[in-house]
Every structure is written in structure tokens, then in C-alpha cells.
Amino acid sequence: MRPGSNAGDGVAGPRDSGRRRFLEVLAVLAGATAAAIITLPAIGFLVAPIFRSSPRRWRSVGLVDQFDLDSTALVSFEDSSSEPWAGVTAKTGAWLRRVGDREFIAFAINCTHLGCPVRWEEGAKLFMCPCHGGVYRADGSVAAGPPPEPLRRYPVRVRKGMVEIESTPLPIT
């Protein structure tokens, strides 16, 4: 050991102090980077729906004359929130009831209980959910079972002899 050397007395020299400071800064930067990598996607996931507008588009589902008065038919159309690459998964459906000469009601095909697809029973004039026994009347109101709300409705219009449904993303409760 050289005279005047402080190696062993617990006091760091200027070179050791600089290295220690560098490693402290490096560790803080690495920790901050790791925290950002983990938290930024989660924040983006939570905040994105606030800034995303829900698209609304009118979709043609058929000619007025295709649907009989007091009948209910399953119609298919493209969901407004689908991506261009979605292909067949962009298709969704609705139960369309003709209640007047030019008046229609469109119901979402999903039960408001847990989202199972409901089916129309023509003989009983009821929508039935096969999952938990939910039953809806022809007007979409709850008749029996666990559904907390009536069937969701899509806006419908008749334009130039065509029945159109306004395609909007409907939440499943």
C-alpha cells in the first residue's frame, strides 16, 4: 500500500465517487425506463376509449317489401366499429320487426344478461335466450328470467325503399 493511499480506510476517492454516481444515475434511468414500458400501455388502454369516437353508419338490410307486416327476421350487416381487415368477423346481426307500413324496430341479437345470442320463437312471439332462460316479448321488454334490461335497439329508417339500420357499437352488459 502506498503512503497516503486511502484504500481500506472506507473513504472513496474522486474516481470511485464518480463511478458510483454514474452507476446510480444508470440504475435510476433503467428503473424509469422499465416502469414506463410497463405503465404506458396500461394508461393508453384506459384512456383510449375517451378519445375514440364511436362510428355511426347507416347500413342497408333489404327492401321494405322483403319484410311482411308483424314479422320478425334476422338480418345481417357490417358493424360500424370493424377494421378494414376484419373480414367476415365484421358482420353482425339484428332482429328486425316490421310493425307498420314503413315502421320497423331492430333489436340487438345479444341478451342483456350475459350477451348470449337470443332467438325468435315465431309460435310464441317471444325472443328466447338459451343460456340462462331469459325471455323477451316481441317489443323487446323482459318477460322472464335474469335479463336486467330490455333488448337493446338499433335506430331504423326507411330510405328510397330500403330499410336501413344505424350501425353503432352496442355494449353488452
Condensed to tens digits (0 to 9), the pLDDT of residues 7-53 reads 555 566 667 788 889 999 999 999 999 999 999 888 887 777 666 66
Q: Fill in the DSSP letter of residue 163.
A: E
Q: What is the CATH number of the domain that holds 127?
A: 2.102.10.10
CA-nearest of 59, 165, 167 to 104 is 165
- Domain around 44: 13-52
Strands of the sheet with 135-137, listed across from one edge? 119-121, 126-128, 135-137, 142-144
Enter the pTM of the model.
Answer: 0.65
Task: Tell me, yes or no, whether 127 lies in a domain.
Answer: yes
- What DSSP letter does each residue of 26-58 carry, written as one string? HHHHHHHHHHHHHHHHHHHHHHHHHHPPPP-EE
Contact 172, 110 (CB under 8 A): yes
Grid coordinates belonging to 70: 308483424
Looking at the structure, do residues 139 and 93 belong to the same domain, yes or no? Answer: yes
- The per-residue pLDDT for range 110-132, each reduced to its tens digit, is 998 888 999 999 999 999 999 88
Structural domain total, the chain: 2
Task: Tell me, yes or no, whether 2 lies in a domain.
Answer: no
- The per-residue pLDDT for range 40-59, each reduced to its tens digit, is 888 887 777 666 666 678 88
Looking at the structure, do residues 41 and 98 belong to the same domain, yes or no? Answer: no
Looking at the structure, do residues 80 and 149 belong to the same domain, yes or no? Answer: yes
